Structure 1
Amino acid sequence: MIDECLVAEFRIEGDECPLARATAQVDVVIDASAPQLRDDGNVLLHFSAPPNDELAEVLDSDPNIRYLHVTRGENAWTYRCLSKHPCVVHRLVNVGFLVESMRYHDGGATMSGAVVGYDVLRGVMETAGQTVGIQLQRVYPLRSEDDEHQSRAWGLTSPQAESLRVAHEMGYFEIPKAVTAAEVADELGISKTAFLERLRRAQSSLCSSVFGQGI
């Protein structure tokens, strides 16, 4: 049995992925599930973003996007489609990277996932180093199983739970604040905008869990 399980975060720049291109044109943050690669090389995408007609139009006009379906909710729109563009993420998946979340913004993407064992981590990092546009942001031990179950119980993704933990430990929620949002974002290795978006979504999930949906 392998004792070490690590969380790794990578930043992807310069990829021709339709979601990356769309966020280069539209100022929006896209949260995506792990892309599913088909045998024919096409990729199934499932993602969400704040309501935005321009984003839907940009995606619908992209020649690499097919069968786009949009479910319009009050606070977020959910998208499902097929992409004809091969995703560089699968190069890391092929050597053992378990994708848990992806976030696209400003023409790039940040992805977070698990790596089981340091030997696998070395293989993932070597592959990332050989893949243009992928850079390792940070690596840290996976939190205990109890903490993971607790995060899921509150409806939090791993990046959201990690952002809350780091913000709390740094004193972001103290009155007055001990640190700024930019300082917490630097510690997490993400942009201030991405941190505040994670925080907003985490707080929304917590409120929904405590007070019920629609409150």
Structure 2
Amino acid sequence: MFSYGSADVYRVEHADDCPCTCLGQFDCPVHRYLVSEGELTVVFHAETFEQLQEVTAALRDRFPSMDVQQLLQPPLSGTPEDRRFVNCGKLTDRQQEVLRTAYREGYFERPRAANATELAEQLGISQSTFAEHLTAAQRKLFGDVFDDC
């Protein structure tokens, strides 16, 4: 084990019945894995869509209860350290609605094309509720962006 910035990094040897071993056979690097409440979440990188299909088929053969939760295409520019996955699933439906509306209406442009009062009225909520939803959504998304920085 060693510390890498604000995170501790562990080296783990995997058994033959581990999804990471299967991914290694396809030369798919594992980005991260997380065990929580008896479930294993594995985030990995496939070089091509065809490789992704092969890996998924192999994982399903070995682990019939496997479920694909999300397919992401990372940004193709920047260094590997610059690339981040942002999990929009962390947002509540209302946070997504507020964030999408703010983005679509130009709230984040300079100069702003819409202000918080207008957007809150459009959404049928108070300005303070708009601000709370927007701040909560940004905090969750920025957590993914800056987690490893």
CA shift, 1:126, in A, is 0.8
* Structure 1 contact 100–113 (Cα < 8 Å) conserved: yes
Cα pair distance change 1:80/1:142, threshold 3 Å: closer
Q: In the alignment, which of 125, 139, 158 is matched to residue 71 of structure 2?
A: 139
Matched, 1:95 2:26: yes
Unmatched segments (≥5 aa) in structure 2: 103-129
Report 1:140-179 matches (<5 A): 140-146=72-78, 149=79, 152=81, 158-159=84-85, 162-163=86-87, 170=96, 171=99, 175-177=131-133
Cα pair distance change 1:144/1:180, threshold 3 Å: same
Cα pair distance change 1:158/1:203, threshold 3 Å: closer
Higher relative contact order (CA 8 A, sep 6+): 1
CA deviations on 1:117-143 (whole Å, 9 max, x unpaired) are 122111111112112243211213221
Cα pair distance change 1:92/1:200, threshold 3 Å: same
CA deviations on 1:72-112 (whole Å, 9 max, x unpaired) are 9xx86x36465474423211221242211112211222111
2: distance between equivalents of 1:116 and 1:102?
A: 19
Cα pair distance change 1:120/1:202, threshold 3 Å: closer
* Structure 2 contact 28–44 (Cα < 8 Å) conserved: yes
CA-atom RMSD in angstroms? 4.3
TM-score, scaled to structure 1: 0.38
Cα pair distance change 1:97/1:135, threshold 3 Å: farther
1: distance between equivalents of 2:87 and 2:76?
A: 16
2: distance between equivalents of 1:114 and 1:122?
A: 12
Unmatched segments (≥5 aa) in structure 1: 1-45, 47-70, 182-195, 207-215
Report 1:200-211 matches (<5 A): 200=143, 203=146
Report 1:43-54 matches (<5 A): none
Runs of 4+ aligned residues of structure 1 deviating over 6 Å after TM superposition are none
Query: What does residue 43 of structure 2 align with?
Result: 112
Q: Higher strand share goes to which structure?
A: 1
TM-score, scaled to structure 2: 0.50
* Structure 2 contact 14–21 (Cα < 8 Å) conserved: no
1: distance between equivalents of 2:27 and 2:10?
A: 25
Query: What does residue 54 of structure 1 align with?
Result: none
CA deviations on 1:121-167 (whole Å, 9 max, x unpaired) are 11111112112243211213221213xx3x835xxx733xx137x86
2: distance between equivalents of 1:205 and 1:116?
A: 23
* Structure 1 contact 128–136 (Cα < 8 Å) conserved: no
> 3-state SS of the aligned residue for 1:136?
coil
Identity, in percent, stands at: 9
> 3-state SS of the aligned residue for 1:140?
coil
Cα pair distance change 1:130/1:180, threshold 3 Å: farther
